Structure formats: structure tokens, C-alpha cells
Amino acid sequence: MLSTAKDLDAVIARLTRDPYRDLPRLVVMAATTDEPVIYSGRGGYAQLPAEPTEASELERLGEPATEDSIFELYSCTKLVATIAGLQLVEQGKIAVEDDASQYIPELKEAKMFKGFDEKGELMLEPLSRPVTIHHL
């Protein structure tokens, strides 16, 4: 069982030791309601050279991961956005029943798929109720 930041750092280093075989990058942050950051650790590379590179060259050619690194999350963005939204709900800043167009004005113009007409053209109809945070 892990008990210290030093233990977490060691696990991160082990998991990112070989970025071509293991995890290419890992950024871990932990927070509480009272403290914005109680742990911050990282390992691996935000950007790797295009071709697999020997470990000795990675230090020179790779871009080490930092807490501020930007890298692809692919489908994980849904999870990150959901967590952020639920944190706002928890803080009382938004409610799941809120009309989402308050925050994303383009949603006022959203239409719903109705089907296709006889020519195969897309048919849309107005929404019967506003899109809410819950729907997102």
C-alpha cells in the first residue's frame, strides 16, 4: 500500500520507465475540497520522438511531461468534463437541471433528428424541451 508522495513518485517512474513499451506519460494530481493540490507527480514524455529512441537519447530529444503538458486524451475528455461539471454542481455553481444554453448559447438553436424524407434528406425538428446539464 502506498503511503507517501515518495512512494507515488516511485510508482510513476516505474510505470513510465520505457515510454514505448509502458506508459508514454503519466500526470497525477490529487486534491481535496479544502486544498487545491495535495499531490502532484509526473513521469514520461509529453512528446516523444517520431521513431523509438534509446533511453539515453530520450532526455535530449523527448519533451518531459509536466503538470502543464498538453497531450491527447481522446475519449477520456468525456470523463474529465463530467468530473469538472459534477464538481461545479457540488460547489453549487450549476445545477444538473440548468438549461445548458446558459453556458453554451449555441444549444438554443439545437434541433432533434426526426428522420429522412423520401429523397433521403435529413429532417430535423425543434426540441420539445431545453438541453440541460444532465443531458450533456
SS3 category, 19:
coil
Give residues with Cβ within 8 angstroms of 133, minimum separation 6: 85, 89, 94, 95, 96, 97, 98, 100, 103
Residue 122 has pLDDT above 90, yes or no: yes
Q: pLDDT grade, residue 57 (50/70/90)?
A: confident
Question: What average pLDDT does the segment 14-23 reach?
Answer: 91
Res. 7: pLDDT tops 60:
yes
pLDDT-derived band at 55 (thresholds 50, 70, 90) equals confident
What does the pLDDT average to over 119-128? 95
What is the C-alpha to C-alpha distance for residues 47 and 70, in angstroms, rounded to an integer? 9
pLDDT band at residue 2, thresholds of 50, 70 and 90?
A: low
Here the contacts of 6-11 (C-beta below 8 Å, separation 24 or greater) are: 8/39, 8/41, 9/41
132 Cα distance to chain centroid: 21
pLDDT of residue 1: 57
The pLDDT of residue 49 is above 60: yes
pTM: 0.56
Within 10 Å of residue 19's Cβ, how many Cβ atoms? 21
Q: How far apart are CA 94 and CA 92, in angstroms?
A: 6
Indicate if the pLDDT at residue 61 is higher than 90: no
